[in-house]
A and B are shown apart, each in its own frame.
Chain A
Amino acid sequence: MTAPPTGAPSSDAAALGQENVRAVAAARGLAPEDLDIRLRADASSYTVVLVLFAIAIGWLLIGSIFGDIASLKLHWPDFLTRQSWLTFGRVRTAHLHAVNYGWATAALIGTSLWLTPRLVHNELKSPVAALIGGALFTLGIAVGIIGVLLGFSDGMEWLEANRYTAGPLLVIGGGLVGLSLFRTVAARRAAHLYVSVWYILGAFIWFPMLYVTGKWPTWTGVESAAVNWFFAHNVLGFWLTAMSVGAAYYFIPKVLGRPIYSYQLSVVGFWSLAMFYSLNGMHHLVGGPLPTWMITTSIVASVFMFIPVVATGINLHMTVVGRFGALRYSPTLRFVVLGAIAYTAVSLQGSFTALREVNRVTHFTHWTVAHSHVGGYAFVTFVAFGAMYYIVPRLVGHEWPSARLVRWHFNTVLAGIAIYVVSLTWAGVAQGLALLDARLPFQISVERSLPGLYGRSLGGLILTVGHFIFAWHFWRMVRMPTGAQPGARPPFHEAQPILYTDEAEAGRPQTFRAAAHSDQIARAPAAHDGNVRPAQGTS
C-alpha cells in the first residue's frame, strides 16, 4: 500500500530524476552549478541523516509512552506500581532522557549534518565517523535509560545516566559527529559562514564542556546543586536551543525565499545568548541554601536574556512579516515559524519566572514542567518536525505521500501541546498559590492541581497519537521506492494552487515535479541554498 504504481520507470529513475530536477531547476532560474552543489551535499549526508531521523522518531515514540505513563501515574497513583522499573521516579527520568537526548538530539544532529554541507557548499566530510558517532550516542542514551529503569541513577536531574557506562559513549559519540561537522566547515567552499553554522559549531563546543563539568565526580553538597542546574539549564540553551535556532535561521528565509532580516541582529543574538544564557542556571534554586550572589547573578542574567531573545525574535519574525499567508502552504514553515514564536514566548516566560516575586509562586510547582514543554516541545520539537518535512523529500527523492497525514500530525500535536501547557500552567499556579498560604493544608495544593494533571494527560495522549501518525508517515515515505509518487501532490496542495505553475508542470513526469516543488513557496532566486545571506555585510 506504500507504493501504488506510477508512470515513472524505476530502473533508471535516478538518471531520469537528475534530468528532470535540472529541467525544473532551470525553469526556476537556478544555475546548474548551484544545483550540483545541492545534489552533492545531499548525497554525502544521505545515509547518516536518514538513519539519525529514524532513530530520533524511534526515541520519540518510546519517550511519548514513558511520558504518558508518568503523567497518568500522577493522578492515578495506583497505576503500575508492582514493578520497580515502572515506578514514577524511573519512568519520568526515562521520558526525559528519551525525548531530550534521544529524540531532540538525534533529530537536531541529523538536521545539522544535512544543513552544514549545504551551507558551506561542500560534501559532508567523515560521514562514516558521523554515523558511528550518532550510533554511539544513541547507544549511550539506551544504556543510560535501561540503567535508570533498573535502578542505576547518578542522582542529579538531567544527569542521571551513569557516568562510567553511558558517559563515555555520549562524549565519544558526540565528539565523532562534531569531528565530521568541523572537518566539513574547515573544507568549505563558500566564503561566508551563515548564522546557522555558528550555532551548530557552538553547540558542539559547548555540549562537551557542559557534560564534563556536570558529570565531574567530586561535587558534593550545595556545590553539586549549583553544578546540577548549571548543566541542566545550559544543556537546553547551548545544545537543543542552539541547534534549533540554527535550523530556524535556515528554514524560515529558505522556504520564504527572502533573506534574513538583519545580519547585525544575528551577531548580537548569537554572542549575547552565549554570554547571558550561560549564567542562568541558578534561578532553579531561588531561595535555596546557596550563596545569594550566585542566585542573584542568574536572576540578572535571566533578565538580560531579553537581549538575545528580542534580537533573534525580531530577526526571525520580521523575516516572516508580510508573508504569513505562506504558512498555509508549507508544513515546514508552519512548524518552524510556530517554533520560533514559541522560542520567543518561552524565553520571555523564563525571564519573568526568574524574578523573585514570580518565583515565590511558581517554584516547586507544575509551572516549571509546563514551561519546559513550551521550550522542549513547542519550540525544539516543532523546529525538528519542520526540518524533517523539508529534508526527507530531498534525500529520498519524492514528496511526502499524504497531505492528509501531514495535516493530522500538525493538528494533533498543536492541540496536544496547547492542552498540555494551558492545563499544567494553570495547575502550577493553583498549586503555588495554595502552597504560599500557610493556613491551607498541603492537601489543598494537591487537590487544586489535580484537574490540571488530568488535562496534561489528555494533552500528552493527543501528542502521542500525533507522533504515531508522523512515524507511520515517515515509514511510508522511506519505504516508497524512488520514482513512485502516488498523486504527486505536495502536502497542503489543496490549499495551494499557486504552487503549480505552468512552466514547471508541463510535460514533466510526476516524480520530479513534486520533488522540486517540495515545500518551496517562492521561486525567487534568493531561495537558492547557500544564498540565504545576510541582508548586509559579508564578514
Chain B
Amino acid sequence: MTRISLIALGAFAVMASAICLLVLVPQALLRDVVAPPQLQPYTEQQLAGRQVYIQNGCVYCHSQQIRDPAFTTDVDRGWGGRATVPGDYVYDKPHLLGTMRTGPDLINVGQRLPDAEWQLIHLYDPRSVVDWSLMPGFPFLFEEKAPNTVQPADRVVRIPGPRAPRGVVVVAKPEAIALVDYLVSLKRQYPVTHPTSGGTRTAFGGRNATH
C-alpha cells in the first residue's frame, strides 16, 4: 500500500460503518423504549445522590444489572426477581451498569436493604456492620462533631460496636443523605412484559425478559 488516501479513507470507512452498526442503528431502535409505568423518575435529591455515586466511583465495584436466570445465578442469589430490561434504565444518564462485582449488585438494593439508617452506618464504616467487607468507608461524607455542637436538625448516625469513633458524634452530610436516598430508591421489581417495559421487539432481540 503506497497511497495515504487509500489507508485514510479505508480506515475512516471501516470505523464509520462500525459506529453505524453498534451506535447509530441501536440508537434508532432503542428510541421507542419508554419507561414502565411503575418506574418513577429520580427526584432531585436522588439525582444528587446518583452524582455522589458517580463521583466516588461506586460503579467500579458494584454492577446495576440482573442477567437472564437461564444464563447465571443473579436471580437465585436474591439480587432481583427478573432480568433487567432497557426500559429499566431510561432515566439513567449516563448508565451505571458496571463491569465488576467486587461488591454485590445494587439495582435492587432498595428492596433488599431499605433501612436508611443501616445504609448510613454502612457508608461511614462498612466493617462496623459487615465484618468481612472490603468496601472502603466514606467518612468524608460525614462530619464528626463534638457532642455539644450537634444541632437539632443534624442527621446523627449512631455507629455500633467497637469501631465507633470515641468522643465525637457522627453527622451525615447532605451528600451522604442524598446518596442513601438514591440507593434505597433502586428497585426494578415491577413485572415487565414486552409492551409495558417499553421494549420494542427488536430491542429485546427476541428474549423473553420475564421467564
Contact = CB atoms under 8 A, between A and B. Distances in A.
Q: Do A and B bind each other?
A: yes
B15 A293 contact: no
A206 B95 CA distance: 24
Given A77-B134, A77-B137, A221-B30, A201 B4 contact: yes
Q: Dominant SS at the B interface?
A: loop
Interface stretch (B40-48, B70-78, B147-155): B70-78
A292 B59 CA distance: 23
Contact of A192 (B2, B8, B19, B85): B2
Q: Dominant SS at the A interface?
A: helix
Interface residues of B, number: 77
B65 to A, nearest CB: 5
A292 B7 contact: no
Contacts of B54: 153, 155
Interface string A491-531: 00000000000000000000000000000000000000000
B78 to A, nearest CB: 8
B203 A291 contact: yes
Interface size class of A (residues with CB under 8 A): 35 or more
A364 interface: yes
A224 B92 contact: yes
Contacts of A364: 63, 98-101
B18 A278 contact: yes
A147 to B, nearest CB: 10
Interface of A: 73-75, 77-78, 81-84, 87-90, 92-93, 151-157, 182, 185-186, 191-193, 197-198, 201-202, 205-206, 209-210, 213, 219-228, 230, 234, 238, 267, 271, 274-275, 278-279, 281-282, 284-285, 287-294, 297-298, 356, 360, 363-366, 368-369, 431, 435-438, 442-443, 445-447, 450, 538-539
Nearest to B206: A292
Contact of A289 (B19, B55, B88, B138): B88
B115 to A, nearest CB: 18
Contacts of A89: 55-61
A84 B140 contact: yes
Given A221-B30, A360-B72, A364-B101, A238 B15 contact: yes
A152 B57 CA distance: 11
A274 B100 contact: no
A186 B89 CA distance: 48
12 contacts: A81-B139, A84-B140, A153-B55, A156-B95, A157-B99, A205-B8, A220-B94, A221-B30, A287-B67, A291-B26, A364-B98, A447-B132
B33 A221 contact: yes
B93 A221 contact: yes
Interface in B1-30: 1-4, 7-8, 10-12, 14-19, 21-23, 26-27, 29-30
A75 B10 CA distance: 47
A157 B2 CA distance: 38
Contact of A205 (B11, B133, B134, B139): B11
Nearest to A74: B134
A233 to B, nearest CB: 10
Contacts of A151: 55-56
